[in-house]
Amino acid sequence: MTKTTNTNSLDKVQEYLTAECFNKLFIGGQFVDPIDGQKMPTYYPATGEVFHEVPKGNANDIKAAIHAAEAAWLDGTWANMPAATRGDLISRMAQGIEENIAVLAAIEAADVGKPFRQSALVLGGAANEGKYWGSLGKVLDTEQDTPVNSGGGVGGLPPAEWDVVYRRDPIGIVGLISAWNYPLNVAFRKVAPALVAGNCAILKPSEIAGLSCMFLGKLAKDVGIPKGVFSVVTGGRETGAALVASPSVSMVSFTGSSLTGTKIMEASAPKLSQVALELGGKSAMVVFEDTNLERAVEATIKGCLTNGGQICTAHTRLIVQEGIKDHLLKKLKTVLEKIPYCRDPITERERGDRAWETGMTDVIQPVVSASQHKKIMDFLEEAKAKGIEIYTGGRVPNPADVENAGGYFIQPTILTNVPRDSDAWQKEIFGPVLSVRSFSSEADAIAEANSTAFGLASTVMSSDPAKAMRVANRIRAGAVFATSTGEGLLAEHPAVSRGGFGCSGVGRELGIGGLHEYTELKSVNYSGFSIAEAKENSSHG
C-alpha cells in the first residue's frame, strides 16, 4: 500500500481501521480472510491517496456465506423467534451505531469525502432508523395469524365458516447489495428490516466506499445474532453478481444505478426470485414565478449539491418559469461561486453540508473517486461539444482554492440551453451539475418534470397551495415535495415509504411496507380443527 502524503487526520482513521472487522469478511459468525487472500485499495477523495486495503471476497466466499446462511435457515431458530426479539437485537445494533458515531463518521469522511459534520448527522439518522425497524418487530408479531375475515370485507369475504388467517413469513436467504454514497445508511436500511422479518441475509457493500458497512458484522456479533444469519462479504461487481446468481438466494434487495438494476433483474429472472430495486434519479425542481426568490435559490442549491450531488434524490433538473429564469440563475451563480471547497473532510467539524438542518450548503465536497471524476468531466466536455452552455462552473477548481490538487473536486456547474433529449437532461450525472429548462404554463411544467425515464423524487415550489398540489399530484415520482419555502426538501422519516417510478426502481423502502418487502404474505386455512385449538395444543406441546 502506498501513501503519498502524511495527513494526520488520515493517520487517526487508519488507527480505527486496524480493528478486525475492517480487515476481514464476516461469515458464519466469524471474521475470516477471503479464500484467495485478495485485497482492494480504498482512496481518500480529498487527496486521491490510498488509505486502506479491504478484503476482496469472490464467488467462493459468497458460497461460504450462503452455506452458513443455509445452515441457519434450516436450523430455524432465527425465523421461529418472535419478531419482537429479533427487533430488540436490531435496536441494539442501532445503539451500537449511535455509540460509535465519531469513529464511523471519520471513516465515512475518509471513504466518501463527505464532511465529518454531515457524516455524523446522517449516521445519527441510521441509528434512529434502526431503532424504528427494531420497534416494528412487535408490529410484525401482531400481524401473524390475522383472521382474513377481520379485514373489513373490502371487495367480499370468504365463507363465514372458513378459519383462514394471514401470515407474513420471511422469504429465506436474501442478498443485500448496497451503494457507496451513504454507505452505512443504505446498507442498514436493508439489513435491519431483512433481519427483523426473520430472513438470513448476506450483505455485499460497495467496493468504492463500504468500510463503515463492515462494522455491521462486528455489531451483529456483539449483540448475539446467531451465526450464519448475517454475513458481510466485501468485493467487486463479480462478487455481487455471484450473490445474485445463487439459486439459494430467494430475494435481492439492491441500491445502486439503474444499469446495474437491470442486470440484477435479468439475473433473477431465470429463477423467478424477488427483487427490490432502489435506483437512480434525475429529480425535478419546479419553480413557479410566485415563489420567494431567496427561498428558491436556497432550495435549488440544497437539492442539487447535498452530498456533492451524489444522492439518488438530487434535484439536478431545474424547471423554472420563464418570467424569473434570468433573475434566479443570476442569483444561483453568485451564491455557487462563493461556496468554498472542503479542505479536509475528516476534520470538517464546523462546516459541512447543512442541507439536512438549515437548508444551507456551505462547503463543496470532492466527488467519490477518480473514475467518477473522469466520468463527470467527460460528460461536461461532451455537453459543451453539443452546444450546451456552461452558465457557471464546468471545470476543476483553481488549485489555489483547494487544499490538495490530487483531490477529486469539480466546480458546481449550471448547464443552460439544455435540449430535452440530451444526456444532460436524461442521464444521472451523480455530481455537482444542474441542468436548466424553463416553462410558461402549468401544463408545460408538468410535462417538463415528467420528461425523463426516472421518477424518484421531485419538488414543486409555489406560494399558491392549490397550484402546488395540482402539480405535485401529476408528477410521476415516488416522493414529491410541495412547498412554498423549500423546508423539508430531501427529508426522510423511517415511517414514510419511498421508492421509484419507472427507471428509479421496483418496490418501496421504509414504513411498514418496507418491512413487508422482506416477507411473503401467506394464507393458512384451518378445517377439521380451529387455529385456536392448534395454538392451544402447541402451547401444551
Binding site for ligand NAD (CB under 6 A): 177-181, 186, 204, 206-208, 236-237, 240-241, 244, 255-257, 260, 263-264, 278-281, 312, 428, 430, 456, 500, 505
Q: Which residue is nearest to ligand NAD (CB)?
A: 240
Nearer to ligand NAD, 344 or 492 (CB): 492
99 part of the active site: no
For the bound state, the minimum distance from the C-beta of residue 426 to ligand NAD, rounded and expressed in Å, comes to 14
What distance lies between CA 242 and its chain's CA centroid? Answer: 21
The answer to whether the beta carbons of residues 279 and 427 sit under 8 Å apart is no
At 481, the amino acid letter reads F
Joined grid coordinates for residue 400: 489555489
Q: How far is the CB of 205 from ligand NAD (least distance, A)?
A: 6
Nearer to ligand NAD, 197 or 264 (CB): 264
Instruction: Annotate 351-376 with DSSP letters as a single string.
Output: -SEETTTTSEE--BPPPS-HHHHHHH
Q: Which is nearer to ligand NAD, 61 or 278 (CB)?
A: 278
Grouping H, G, I as helix, E, B as strand and the rest as coil, residue 129 is helix
d(CA 420, CA 433): 16
Cβ atoms of residues 251 and 273 within 8 Å: yes
Identified catalytic residue from 21, 200, 304, 312: 312
- Cα Rg of the chain (Å, integer): 24
Q: Which lies closer to ligand NAD via its Cβ, residue 316 or residue 347?
A: 316
Nearer to ligand NAD, 3 or 508 (CB): 508
Q: How many helices (H) and strands (E) does the chain have?
A: 18, 24
Residue 160 CB, shortest distance to ligand NAD, in Å, is 44
Instruction: Provide the minimum distance between the beta carbon of 498 and ligand NAD in the complex, in angstroms, as a whole number.
Output: 7
Lookup: cell for 476:
410521476
Q: Which is nearer to ligand NAD, 291 or 459 (CB)?
A: 459
**Residue among 123, 307, 128, 131 nearest 212 (CA):** 123
Q: What is the DSSP string of 19-64?
A: SGGGTSEEETTEEE--TT--EEEEEETTTTEEEEEEE---HHHHHH
Looking at beta carbons only, is 181 or 199 nearer to ligand NAD? 181
List, in sequence order, every beta strand (DSSP E) within 233-345: 249-255, 274-278, 284-287, 317-321
Active-site option among 49, 108, 278, 442: 278
Residue 213: active-site member: no
**Least distance in angstroms from the C-beta of 474 to ligand NAD:** 22
Which of these, 360, 458, 56, lies nearest to 234 by C-alpha position? 56
- State the Cα–Cα distance between residues 359 and 299, nearest whole angstrom: 7
**Can you read off the three cell numbers belonging to residue 276?**
427490490
We find the least distance from the C-beta atom of residue 89 to ligand NAD, in angstroms, to be 25
Q: Are 351 and 117 spatial neighbours (Cβ–Cβ below 8 Å)?
A: yes
Least distance (Å) from ligand NAD to the CB of residue 335?
25
User: Are β-strands 508-509 and 498-499 bridged in parallel, bridged antiparallel, or unpaired?
Assistant: antiparallel
Catalytic positions: 278, 312
